[in-house]
Amino acid sequence: MSDQATLEVRNLQTHFFTKAGVVKAVNDVSFSVGKGKILGLVGESGSGKTVTGFSILGLVDEPGRVVGGEILYRGENLVGASQERMRQLRGNNVAMIFQDPMMTLNPVLRIDTQMIEAIKAHHKVTDDEARQRARDALGQVGIPSPDERLKSYPHQFSGGMRQRVAIAIALLNKPDLIVADEPTTALDVTIQGQILYEVQKLCAETGTAMIWITHDLSVVAGLADEVAVMYAGRVVEAGKVDDVLDAPMHPYTAGLIGSVPSRNARGKRLHQIPGMTPSLLNLPEGCAFAARCNYATAACEQPPALENAAGARQIRCHHPLVAEAV
Amino acid sequence: MTAVHDDTNVGGAGAAKPIAEGETPFRRFLNDYAESKVAVGGAVGVAIVLLIALFGPWISPTDPYDLASVTFMDNRLHPGGTMGSGVTAMLGTDGLGRDMVSAMIYGLRISLGVGIGSGIIALLIGVSFGLCAAYFGGKVDTVIMRVVDIQLSFPAILIALVLLATLGKGIDKIIVALVLVQWAYYARTVRGSALVERRREYIEAATCLGLSKPRVIFGHMLPNCLPPLIVVATMQVAHAILLEATLSFLGLGLPVTEPSLGLLIANGFEYMMSGEYWISVYPGLALLFTIVTINVVGDRLRDVLNPRLQK
Amino acid sequence: MTVFVIRRLLQAALVMIIMSLLVFGGVFLVGDPVEMLVADDADQAERQAIIKSMGLDLPFYMQYLRFIGNALQGDMGNSFVFQEPAMELILERMPATFELAIAALLIAVVIGIPLGIYAGLKADSWMSKTIMTASILGFSVPTFWVGIMMILFFAVILGWLPSTGRGDTVELFGIPVSFLTLDGLQHLILPAVNLALFKLSMVIRLARAGTREVVHQDYIKFARAKGLSTGRIIGVHLFKNIMIPVVTVLGLEFGGLIAFSVVTETVFAWPGMGKLLIDSIGFLDRPVIVAYLLFVVGLFVFINLVVDVLYSVLDPRVRLQEVKS
């Protein structure tokens, strides 16, 4: 880590203060992502990965609040930054792509309106220039006849096309960082493949750093450079994609990988992780995964720390697995 | 009225059961309802209005329709003035020398009577049509709902104006007008929830048991459609009272011999310019209080009874 | 789109036929127009002559067709009281009523939408709760009584504003209007506010409900993620979405305002169509009653039609569905 990372998150804590109690959606999350790199942020639903994404953009809504940690964008701490500073960064330096393409575009505004306003929110340009850039961006994500498409309404696009438009909007101001929250989950597999390929190409070409939030390990395997696995609001394991997926050290990661149907396992029962994710309202004192873990011992009643392991890996476990465990 | 009565019935049933049994649906409903202090206040207000109307003849200081005791000598006394009979007119007297408090109590009886009476008739008609539309479907449904849609596309006051302008004055005519205005709301509400219920298994079960159609419709389907109906009924009663007052004010509703609150206000209007405010102001406040409390209760019932909003 | 408009037109025609039957049936069959028209001392021959001239000896359907035929030519008969064509009387009073209704609508929208959006965005604030309580009150208060109270305070006690009539008018495109003269504007304020109260409550509620629904949509969050200013998010993204239901309902409610202006016009002696109706009912001036009812019903059907079409223009999704079907 000689260069400054595009984004570094340190000990991020985002809690929701509900009537029922404090929901610790993100509870000590750290990772970093460098220029042109793609970080896969993996976890089950409810593990806090989406909230992490929103925290980075300062889009956590009441009753949620970032209560601790640092979010360093090129060295600038975004936790506690002013509303106006966050607005300047959003869409310009840091962009986000949402999960459901059917819901992210405003149904009553034309595509050109929604694209041009995104440019003009950050740059003093004429409408014509903005329109030109919007057209280019649509072309960049592979939308045919962009001129015509600019005048359309979102409902005139298919889901895959809409997600391309959303990606084009994210690319408009050439951001340094894109947070993509499961952008391909709602799409057909073939479309998913095309989009993944294009995103990978774009990151490599433009040097944009990307955080790809997903629950799908196979996507991460093909796309990301590094991966961080989240469980119950914490990063439990992080490292280079190949290292982590080939030789998971955390029992939870191993369980996740084990539950992916693969060609080798045909005919065999799929592995599954017993039990359910714990309620974020009252997390156990110690390791949150202990109740579901085959390796748990009395030691697991103490919270494990995120420790560095060999090969630029980090692991939060009292009983890390050795390489041949899977 | 239906809603208010249900409300109190619910209270009775809930209280009669031993608390040890835990949460009955009634008790939960009561607890939910009572979470809003304003709504509890509204329910108390409605209860007070109903009690005053029920026991009006016994608590009224004078009988405003007893021509022997009402004298023109007492006309337009200021609030607190003493009438010839020695009774203090707390809120003054009107242009004919009637004690305002008494006139308002009797007026309230008429207003509530017309509002609730027309509400019940409209409820019966509307529910019957709505259930038929939902149960039989097809042509029956299309015809009934088309009529409902067309009627609901006109404002209530316009329909009432058309009817009363052609029918003339009278308590029977205003009830007819109010029923015709309201039935469509009930029909639409009941049909909506009955359509949902019709697809449920218990209706199929009841049909398979060979129960008669009316029995399935009224015995099984209707009770499950009640919650939204209670809400609509509450709101509609307030609406009917308001509409009756408005029509009476316009001189289209009740005859002068049966002065509702609306007519009392209208009578006071002519004295307004000379500063004799009380003849219009106090009946208006009574009307306002009645409608506001009913609407507050209805609003709360909607929140509590709507399963979509339950957390 | 054309199919859609034609279908709505047919439906509108059907409603008109039904309503005209109702009004005709009610007014001409329940009452006895001969009694109204014939002098008390008329002899039998005179009576017969009048019955003949009015076509009252014809069978019901012939009478109705004749009535409709005349009505389509704008001939609704002469007012018994004014001895003028009823339709002309109505059209004469129409500008006053429209001016009042439009003023009320503007008040409701201009005040109601910002309040509703505010109440939707800050649902738990003290201000929002006050706004919402006030809007329940707005639904509950009897319009005519509030009008009386307004007269009591602003005209009788404070003496600030006039309480009756239209005041000075000037001609705008040949139509007399009040709002362009100071005196006329003063006369307009109280009735317009009075008429607006109910709609104001409704606009507040609609805007609030719409805001609360829209504000949690992904596209609002996405708009924020684009770095748009709060002003643009609320003013464009949120506003455009909540305006769909508001415009629809308000369009439909404009007819309601016309109908309800009967009450306000009576309270404030505003010389519009509504006051004419109430006066005519008092005088049993049947041609005017019929003309008013048919006119307002027709207006209503027309408004519903326009709103339906407008709605499909406003919401691109509806437009598409209609094209497909």
pLDDT at A267: 65
What Rg do the C-alpha atoms of chain B give, in angstroms? 22
Q: Is the peptide bond before B228 cis (omega within 30 degrees of 0)?
A: no
d(CA B234, CA B239): 9
Whether B143 and chain C come into contact, CB under 8 Å, resolves to no
Q: Match 């009150």 to its residue by tokens.
A: C137
Q: What is the pLDDT of residue B301?
A: 84
Residues of C in contact with A157 (CB under 8 A): none
CA distances from B71 to A217, B63, B94, B268 (A): 93, 12, 11, 18
Q: Residue A204: which H helix or E strand, with range?
A: helix A189-206
Q: What per-residue confidence (pLDDT) applies to A249? A: 87
Name the DSSP letter for residue C1: -
Contacts of C217 (CB under 8 A, 6+ apart): A103, C241
What is the pLDDT, as a whole number, of residue C107?
Answer: 92
Q: What does the CA dihedral B273, B274, B280, B285 come to, rounded to 10 degrees? A: 90
Q: Return the SS3 of A10.
A: strand
| Both structure tokens of A4 | 């400054």
Architecture of domain C86-322: Orthogonal Bundle (1.10)
Which residue among C224, C232, C320 sits closest to A155, beta carbon to beta carbon? C320
**Taking the C-alpha atoms of A78, A84, A86 and A91 in order, what is their torsion angle to the nearest 10 degrees?**
-160
**Contact (CB<8Å) C218/A100:** yes
Other CB atoms within a 10 A radius of the CB of residue C297 amount to: 23
Phi-psi region of A61 (alpha: psi -120 to 50; beta: other; left: phi over 0): beta
Report pLDDT for C33.
Answer: 58
Against chain C, the chains showing at least 3 CB pairs within 8 Å are: A, B
CA distances from C303 to C106, C241, C297, C316 (A): 17, 22, 10, 21
Over its length of 325 residues, how does chain C's per-residue pLDDT go in tens digits? Answer: 677 778 778 878 888 888 778 777 776 655 555 665 666 666 777 777 777 766 666 777 777 787 778 777 777 777 777 778 888 888 888 888 988 999 999 999 999 999 999 988 887 888 888 888 888 788 778 888 888 888 888 887 787 887 777 777 777 776 777 777 777 778 888 999 999 988 898 899 889 988 888 888 888 988 988 888 888 998 888 998 888 888 777 777 787 888 888 899 988 888 889 888 888 887 777 778 888 888 888 888 888 778 777 766 666 665 544 444 3
Is it the case that residue B252 has pLDDT exceeding 60? yes
pLDDT higher than threshold 70 for residue B229: yes
Which chains are adjacent to chain A, needing at least 3 Cβ pairs under 8 Å?
C
Closest CA to C244 of C221, C213, C222: C213
How far is it, in rounded angstroms, from Cα A142 to Cα A160?
11
- A64-73 and A38-42 as β-strands: parallel, antiparallel, unpaired? unpaired
B159 in C contact zone (CB under 8 Å): no
CA dihedral sign, ordered C106, C111, C114, C115: negative
β-partners of residue A32 are: A8
Tokens of residue C165, six digits: 């009539």
User: Cβ of C289 under 8 Å from any chain B Cβ?
Assistant: yes
Query: Cα angle at B92 between B87 and B98, to 5 degrees?
Result: 70
- Chain C residues closer than 8 Å to A91 by CB: 225-228
**What is the rounded CA–CA span in Å between residue A249 and residue A15?**
28
- Give Cα separations from A53 to A4, A70, A118, A210, B131 (angstroms): 20, 14, 20, 11, 50
Single out the residue of B107, B113, B226 nearest to residue B178, CA to CA. Answer: B113
Q: Which residues of C touch A117 (CB under 8 A)?
A: 226, 228, 232, 236
Is B287 near chain C, with CB under 8 Å? Answer: yes
Contact yes or no for C140 and B288 at CB 8 A: yes
Are B161 and C293 in contact (CB < 8 Å)? yes
Residue with tokens 């950050």: A122
Degrees (nearest 5) of the Cα angle A278, A284, A285? Answer: 155
- Residue-wise DSSP of chain B: -HHHHHHHHHHHHHHHS-GGG---HHHHHHHHHHT-HHHHHHHHHHHHHHHHHHTHHHH-SS-TT-TTT--GGGTTPPTTEEPTTS-EETT-B-TTS-BHHHHHHHHHHHHHHHHHHHHHHHHHHHHHHHHHHHHH-HHHHHHHHHHHHHHHTS-HHHHHHHHHHHH-S-HHHHHHHHHHHHHHHHHHHHHHHHHHHHTSHHHHHHHHTT--HHIIIIIIIHHHHHHHHHHHHHHHHHHHHHHHHHHHHTTSSS-TTS--HHHHHHHHHHHHTTT-THHHHHHHHHHHHHHHHHHHHHHHHHHHH-GGG--
Which residues of chain A neighbour C228 with C-beta distances below 8 Å?
87, 91, 117-118, 121
Q: Single out the residue of B31, A105, B147 nearest to residue C11, CA to CA.
A: B147
Q: C6-25 pLDDT, tens per residue?
A: 877 887 888 888 877 877 77
CB atoms within 10 A of CB C14: 13
The closest CB to that of C156, out of B252, B272, B284, belongs to B272
pLDDT digits (tens, 9 = 90+) for B114-138: 999 999 999 999 988 988 888 787 8
| CB A222 within 8 Å of CB A269 | no
B226-247 mean pLDDT: 87
Cβ-nearest to B162 among C142, C253, C293: C293
- For the cut 80, the answer to whether the pLDDT of residue B310 exceeds it is no
In sequence order, the 6+-apart residues with CB closer than 8 A to the CB of A198 are A141, A142, A167
- Choose the mutation target among B250, B270, B271, B309 for the interface with C, i.e. most C CBs under 10 Å: B250
Chain B's closest residue to C145, CA to CA, is B284
Q: How many angstroms separate the CA atoms of B88 and B80, rounded?
A: 6
Q: Which residues of A251-260 are buried (b: 16+ CB within 10 A; e: fewer)?
A: bbbbbbbeee
Lowest mean pLDDT among B59-63, B135-139, B215-219, B306-310: B306-310
- Residues 145-164, chain C: which have Cβ within 8 Å of B? 145, 148-149, 151-152, 156
Please tell me the predicted confidence (pLDDT) of residue B12.
37
Sheet with A226-231: strands ordered across: A94-97, A177-181, A209-214, A38-42, A226-231, A234-240, A313-315, A307-309
State residue C130's pLDDT score: 85
**A275 within 8 A of A292, measured Cβ to Cβ:** yes
Residue B228 near residue B192 (C-beta atoms within 8 A): yes
Can you give the pTM of this predicted structure?
A: 0.77
Structure ipTM: 0.85
CA dihedral A181, A186, A188, A190 (to 10 degrees): 0
Is residue C23 within 8 A of residue C293, CB to CB? The reply is yes
Per-residue pLDDT of chain A (326 residues; tens, 9 = 90+): 445 788 999 899 999 988 888 888 898 898 989 888 899 999 888 788 889 999 999 888 888 889 988 999 988 888 888 888 999 999 899 999 888 888 888 888 899 999 999 999 998 999 999 999 999 888 888 888 888 889 888 888 888 888 888 888 988 888 889 999 888 877 777 878 888 888 888 888 888 899 999 888 888 888 889 999 998 888 889 999 888 888 888 888 888 888 776 645 556 666 777 777 777 777 877 888 888 888 888 888 888 888 888 777 888 888 888 754 44
The answer to whether C219 contacts A107, with C-beta atoms less than 8 Å apart, is: yes
Pairing status of strand C170-172 against strand C175-177: antiparallel
Give the list of residues 6+ apart from residue A168 with CB closer than 8 angstroms, or none. A115, A134, A137, A138, A140, A141, A143
Nearest to A91 among C226, C240, C315 (CB): C226
B279/C308 Cα distance (integer angstroms): 45
- Contact indicator for B186, B162 with CB cutoff of 8 Å: no
- pLDDT at position A12: 92
Position B299 scores a pLDDT of 81
Interface contact B56, partner C, CB < 8 A: no
pLDDT tens digits for B208-225? 887 787 787 777 778 877
Q: What is the pLDDT of residue A3?
A: 59
Q: Which amino acid is at A36?
A: G
Highest mean pLDDT among A1-10, B72-81, B256-265: B256-265
Q: pLDDT band for B305, please (50, 70, 90 cuts).
A: confident
Residue B9 has pLDDT above 70, yes or no: no
Chain B hits for C268, CB-CB cut-off 8 Å, are none
Nearest to C227 among A87, A100, A156 (CB): A87
What's residue B311's pLDDT? 36
CB pair distance less than 8 Å for B166 and C300: no
Question: Do the Cβ atoms of B273 and C260 come within 8 Å?
Answer: no
What pLDDT does A94 receive?
92
Domains and CATH numbers, chain A: 7-83+177-189+208-325 (3.40.50.300), 94-172 (no CATH)
pLDDT at A212: 92
CB-neighbour burial class of residue C60 (10 A; exposed 0-12, middle 13-18, buried 19+): exposed
Q: Flag whether residue A18 sits within 8 Å of chain C, measured between CB atoms.
A: no
Residue B94 has pLDDT above 50, yes or no: yes
Give me A251's structure tokens: 């029992």
